[in-house]
Amino acid sequence: MWHFVSPNIVFGEGALNSLEELIGKRALIITDNNLVQIGIAEQVTSYLIKAGFDIQVFDEVEPDPTTQTVIKGAAAASEFKPDWIVGLGGGSPLDAAKAAWVLYERPDLQPAEINPFIKLGLREKSRLITIPTTSGTGAEVTWGIVLTDAENQRKMGLGNRENAADIAIVDPVMAAGMPPRLTADTGMDALTHAIEGFICTWHTDITDGLCLNAARDILKYLPRAYEASQSDNPDQDHYKKAREKMHNAASCAGLGFGNAMASIAHAMGHTLGSIFHLPHGRAVGLLLPYTIEFTAQEAPQRINKLTAALGIQTPEGKAGPALASHIREISRAIGLPGNIADAGIEESEFVSQLDKLVDDAFNDTQMITAARTPSFEELEHIFKAAYHGQPVDF
Amino acid sequence: MKYKFPSVEWINKVRELLNESESYQRSAKDWEGDFIFVVEPDEAYPHTSYLHLELYHGSSPGAALVNEDELPETEYSLNAPFSTWRRVIEGKLDPIQGMMTRQLKLKGDLMKIMRYPKAAQEIVSCCADVPTEW
Residue bearing the bigger pLDDT, B95 or A12? A12
Neighbours of A319 (CB within 10 A): 22
Q: Domain range spanning residue B68?
A: 3-126
Please give the pLDDT value at position A135. 98
Please give the pLDDT value at position A273. 94
Q: Which residue from A minimizes the CA distance to B109?
A: A113
- Residue A286: which of A207, A231, A350 has the closest Cα? A350
DSSP letters of B2-67? -EESSSHHHHHHHHHHHHH-HHHHHHTTT-B--EEEEEE-BTTB-S-EEEEE--BTTB---EEEE-
Please give the pLDDT value at position B33. 94
| pLDDT classification of A38: cutoffs 50, 70, 90 | very high
Distance CA A193, CA A184 (A): 14
Yes or no, beta carbons of B118 and A375 under 8 Å apart: no
Please give the pLDDT value at position A150. 83
Q: What share of chain A is helix, strand, coil (3-state, %, to 5)?
A: 55, 10, 30
Distance CA A365, CA A261 (A): 9
Please give the pLDDT value at position A153. 75
Neighbours of A23 (CB within 10 A): 9
Query: Which of A102, A117, A204 to mutate against chain B (most B CBs within 10 Å)?
Result: A117
Residue bearing the bigger pLDDT, B94 or A140? A140
Yes or no, beta carbons of B27 and A201 under 8 Å apart: no
Distance from CA of B96 to the nearest CA of A (A): 9
Residue A373 confidence (pLDDT) above 80: yes
Q: Is residue A30 a contact partner of residue A87, using CB atoms and an 8 Å limit?
A: yes
| pLDDT classification of A316: cutoffs 50, 70, 90 | confident
Distance from CA of B128 to the nearest CA of A (A): 15
Within a 13 Å sphere around the CA of B53, how many CA atoms are in the beta-carbon half? 29
Please give the pLDDT value at position A19. 97
Yes or no, beta carbons of B23 and A375 under 8 Å apart: yes
Mean pLDDT of chain B: 94
User: Which residues of A lie closer than 8 Å to B, measured between beta carbons?
Assistant: 1-3, 110, 112-113, 115-118, 156-158, 161, 201-202, 359, 362-365, 367-368, 375-376
Please give the pLDDT value at position A293. 98
| pLDDT classification of B113: cutoffs 50, 70, 90 | confident
Please give the pLDDT value at position A105. 98
Residue B115 confidence (pLDDT) above 90: no
Nearest to B100 among A116, A363, A375 (CB): A116
In a domain, B35, yes or no: yes
Distance CA A41, CA A127 (A): 19
Taken as a whole, chain A contains a residue count of 394
Multiple choice CATH, A8-175, 3.40.630.190, 3.40.1160.10, 3.40.50.720, 3.40.50.1970:
3.40.50.1970
Query: Which of B110, B113, B122, B126 to mutate against chain A (most A CBs within 10 Å)?
Result: B110
Q: Is residue A175 a contact partner of residue A243, using CB atoms and an 8 Å limit?
A: yes
Find out whether the peptide bond into A116 is cis, omega within 30 degrees of 0: no
Contacts of B96 in chain A (CB under 8 A): 368
Residues sharing a CB contact under 8 Å with residue A185, sequence separation 6 or more, in sequence order: A136, A279, A280, A281, A282, A285, A336
Nearest to B99 among A113, A117, A161 (CB): A117
Q: Indicate which CATH number applies to the domain containing B28.
A: 3.30.1050.10
The model's pLDDT over B36-76, given as tens digits with 9 standing for 90+, comes to: 999 999 999 999 999 999 999 999 999 999 999 999 999 99
Yes or no, beta carbons of A157 and B114 under 8 Å apart: yes
Residue A313 confidence (pLDDT) above 90: no
- Residue B53: which of B26, B77, B21 has the closest Cα? B77
Multiple choice CATH, A180-388, 3.90.79.10, 1.20.1740.10, 1.10.3720.10, 1.20.1090.10:
1.20.1090.10
Please give the pLDDT value at position B120. 87
Q: How many helices (H) and strands (E) does chain A have?
A: 14, 8
Largest pairwise CA distance in chain B? 39
Distance CA A44, CA A225 (A): 24
Residue A9 confidence (pLDDT) above 90: yes
Q: Is residue A322 a contact partner of residue A313, using CB atoms and an 8 Å limit?
A: yes
Number of domains, chain B: 1
Contacts of B27 in chain A (CB under 8 A): 359, 362-363
Domain ranges of chain A: 8-175, 180-388
The model's pLDDT over A130-186, given as tens digits with 9 standing for 90+, comes to: 999 999 999 999 999 999 988 877 788 899 999 999 999 999 999 999 999 999 999
ipTM for this prediction: 0.84
In a domain, B50, yes or no: yes
- Residue A384: which of A330, A339, A328 has the closest Cα? A339
Give how far Cα B6 sits from Cα of A36, B82, B89, B124, Å: 60, 9, 11, 15
Nearest to B118 among A2, A202, A362 (CB): A362
Please give the pLDDT value at position A340. 98
| pLDDT classification of B105: cutoffs 50, 70, 90 | very high
pTM for this entry: 0.94
Residue % of chain A over a pLDDT of 90: 94
Q: Three-class SS of residue A131?
A: strand
* Angle CA A238–A242–A243, to nearest 5: 120
Give how far Cα A237 sits from Cα of A213, A218, A228, A245, Å: 22, 18, 10, 12
Contacts of A118 in chain B (CB under 8 A): 110
> What DSSP state is assigned to residue A154?
E
In a domain, B13, yes or no: yes
Within a 13 Å sphere around the CA of A249, how many CA atoms are in the beta-carbon half? 29
Pairing relation of β-strands A167-170 and A8-11? parallel
DSSP letters of A53-113? -EEEEE-BPPSS-BHHHHHHHHHHHHHH--SEEEEEESHHHHHHHHHHHHHHH-TT--GGG
The model's pLDDT over A56-94, given as tens digits with 9 standing for 90+, comes to: 999 999 999 999 999 999 999 999 999 999 999 999 999
| pLDDT classification of B117: cutoffs 50, 70, 90 | confident
Query: Which of B99, B116, B118, B121 to mutate against chain A (most A CBs within 10 Å)?
Result: B118
Q: Is residue A149 a contact partner of residue A356, using CB atoms and an 8 Å limit?
A: no
Distance CA A324, CA A340 (A): 16
DSSP letters of A187-245? HHHHHHHHHHHHHSTT--HHHHHHHHHHHHHHHHHHHHHHHHHH-S-TTSHHHHHHHHH
Residue bearing the bigger pLDDT, A391 or B120? A391
Distance CA B30, CA B12 (A): 22
Mean pLDDT of chain A: 96
